[in-house]
Amino acid sequence: MFAGSNYPCRQTGVRLRGRVYLMLGAAVLLLVLSACAGAGSSLAVPQEVAPLLNPALGALPEAAVSWPVMKRPDGIPPEYQAAAESEELQLFINPKNAAILLFDKRSGYTWSSVPLDASTNKKLAGVWKRRSPIPLVVEYTSSDRSAVKAVRPEDMQLTVSPLQNGARVEVVAANNGLALNLLFTVSNDRLEVTIPEASVQESGENGFVSVQVLPFFGAMPDSQAGYIFYPDGAGMLVRFDTPHRNEVQETSRPVYGNDLLDPPTNRPVIFTRQPIVMPVFGLTTGADAFVGIVTHGDFDASISMARSGEGMPYNRSWAEFVYRRQGMFSLNGEQPVILYEPGRVGGDRQIRYMFFNACAAPCQGQVGYADMAARYRDYLLERGAGRVKTDAPLMNLRLFMGIEQRTWFLRDFIGMTSFGEAQAMLDTLAGEGVDRLDVTLEGWNNGGAKSHYPQRLPVEAELGGEDGLRALADSLHARGQRLFLHDNYLDILPGSTGAFPIMDAVRGVDGLPVGDGEAGYYLNPQVALRQFAAHDMASMAKLGADGLYLQDFAAIAVPDGNLRYPLSRENFAATWIQIAGLSSSALGNAALGGGNLYALNHAARLENVPLESTGYDLSNESVPFYQMAVHGLVQYSGEVINLGSDARRSFLRHVEYGAMPVFALTWNDTALLYRTNANALWTGQFSTWKDEMVRDYLSLLPLQAVQGQFMSGHEKLAEGVFETRYDSGARVIVNYNDNPYVAGSISVPANDFIVVP
């Protein structure tokens, strides 16, 4: 999986020189490109060149003639106007500053967009007192695009008017030439906050950079019980009442990972932080809670969270929408500098807040992240998520086949696992009872792993060629197993043919191709779809495989300024999903690399999903929120078991989090890969790992019954002992300790797990 910094143009000088010679051959290359693309049969491709994943926002609520009349609960300040009511909620808004109150009729609890004691709290600094009543923070940049500034609260003119089921706030910063509308609407147990794209206006020299929405909604002091759920990796909790630094600690991370690419010379880069793979956050007081979901604009959003500290004595979490990104720009041929991009990122933005409490019916005592995950799962089901079959595979086996080793004069192919050796490996495992497998082949193609992308065919002859691959596929099908072929639609590697960076590469916010001549470039997804995927999948469909494993398809989404096919982040991800759709229609399935949940409805399996959080010092614990939301909707795997520092612990984490364990194996000694680009596979020889893999697989058999079930709970029973509960009532108890865990009739061996029906 790719990782890197937020600035994609570290090697701008190389790229500027490269642009000149690339343009000289553009006309000739276009002719060659047309000839290559036209050869052979191709699959039909979608006509849409800027596809979207989110459904259209729909009709906006109409203006209302007057405010509604409704019973006013005790405790609502008189300056708040009644604005809307559903069966569960009542919305009130302050016409002076657009602050809102949301009264939950089920529990009598009132949620506020501003701490109710903010005006009298002596610990709250003056700048925060002025800012906290306003329901948004607007940041902008001026004509030089070099710095970001915040619109002062006193410079915002807020006009509040009634809407059907809500209220409209017209925000005008006349001194800055900026304006937008903020819409609040209530239905059932939810509040939706919308910024329509049509309402966003820029005049003069200033332009929007970002808008923070309801940054103080539900803000809580340290004395309050409860916690924030933050979607770092699998998920983490930040409890209000735990000791922490006196300084304000704040983090804000882009949804779906880094939103800009580094040049390929920096690959592979080890992740130091887990990505944000789901556009969701939440907060609970113990008795009442909300979960917020960014439903529109999630590709151009960040999730933020802050602990209380000096001058700001409240813990809070919120969403921030991005309207301009930074990049390296060269103005007038001078040294490149970091600036904001000139154009604005368009699109409607919306956040849905859903509210629940312990005594809605029946009283449960507390509500927390498990309830938030269940609400988010309901949302995913509304968006078309499927269900996992009960006879789904128990384990994923990734076989590394081979790679070219390049020297000054020769390209030597290093065969690690031929198709015949793969068949022998699987026959051996089947004889030991290991049969419910998905099998993925990496390096099956011409030149092996990564050698000629974006060219991938023909099948590598030294591994056994097409006949050997078909024979392997037939043997897997006879046992009811699925075969996936690893594929890469991101890289234009040096020496490859058929793709030309000046026309086909991803372009950064500075307009230059991302990459360089030595390490390669990144391929525009629409070019990948139309020039390669549609043509190659027609041939790959004849090889007998059941689907493609598409590298990074659920891990990377970036804006692309390609001249032929300009793409937003959502367009980029949606185009890759179009390619996944071709795989599903032509071969039967698509497995996707990464955990970004926009890919959920389009994947037979997700790999490299986070099974932990980053471990910030402001975090209290990691939790399987992600897994509680998606278990039963899709199969997923985390890190490769045999490539981590502790294979047993990694396997147990897969069990605890309901994941599908994955092993990466070769037939030959992995020492052969020492001087290749695949030396990360430092241990994986089948003979070394066979016995442990067989043992792990056989221990998974009792988990067959819960494969398609939803998770209902997760709890720490003791230090190093965790219980995961499923809808059927089954419990999986994992013991990470070197000693057995015994509690009543429950006994879990050391470094092992049990399944309680």
The pLDDT tens digits for 105-137 are 999 999 999 987 887 888 888 888 888 899 999
The pLDDT tens digits for 194-253 are 999 999 999 889 999 999 999 999 999 999 999 999 999 999 999 999 988 888 889 999
pLDDT at residue 415, rounded to an integer: 95
Which residues on neighbouring strands pair with residue 349, listed in sequence order? 195
pLDDT, the chain, mean = 90
Confidence of residue 266 (pLDDT cuts 50, 70, 90): very low
Span 478-487, average pLDDT:
97
pLDDT at residue 40, rounded to an integer: 59
CA separation for the pair 251, 41 (Å, rounded) = 50
The pTM assigned to this predicted structure is 0.92
Indicate the range of 143-157, 318-332, 460-474, 722-736 predicted with least confidence. Answer: 318-332
Span 467-474, average pLDDT:
98
Q: In this structure, how many other beta carbons lie within 10 angstroms of the beta carbon of residue 396?
A: 26
pLDDT at 715 over 70: yes
CA dihedral 587, 592, 598, 603 (to 10 degrees): 40
Span 279-302, average pLDDT:
97
Span 95-114, average pLDDT:
96
CATH number among 3.30.1490, 2.170.220, 1.10.287, 2.70.98, domain 81-382: 2.70.98
Joined tokens for residue 153: 């609260």
The pLDDT tens digits for 523-574 are 999 999 999 999 999 999 999 999 999 999 999 999 999 999 999 999 999 9
Sign of CA dihedral 580, 581, 587, 591: positive
Q: Which CATH class is domain 711-757?
A: mainly beta
pLDDT at 31 over 80: no
CATH 3.20.20.80 occupies which residues in the chain? 12-54+393-710
pLDDT above 70: percentage of residues in the chain: 92
pLDDT at 390 over 90: no
CA separation for the pair 208, 705 (Å, rounded) = 52
pLDDT at 355 over 50: yes
- Burial (CB < 10 A; 0-12, 13-18, 19+), residue 730, is middle
Q: Are 684 and 643 in contact (CB under 8 A)?
A: yes
The pLDDT tens digits for 561-613 are 999 999 999 999 999 999 999 999 999 999 999 999 999 999 999 999 999 99
pLDDT at residue 20, rounded to an integer: 37
CATH 2.60.40 occupies which residues in the chain? 711-757
pLDDT at residue 362, rounded to an integer: 59
CATH 2.70.98 occupies which residues in the chain? 81-382
566 phi and psi, to 5 degrees?
A: -70, 135
The pLDDT tens digits for 674-713 are 888 888 888 999 999 999 999 999 999 999 999 999 999 9
pLDDT at residue 479, rounded to an integer: 95
CA separation for the pair 264, 282 (Å, rounded) = 36
* Structural fold of domain 12-54+393-710: TIM Barrel (3.20.20)
Indicate the range of 61-75, 329-343, 721-735 predicted with least confidence. Answer: 329-343
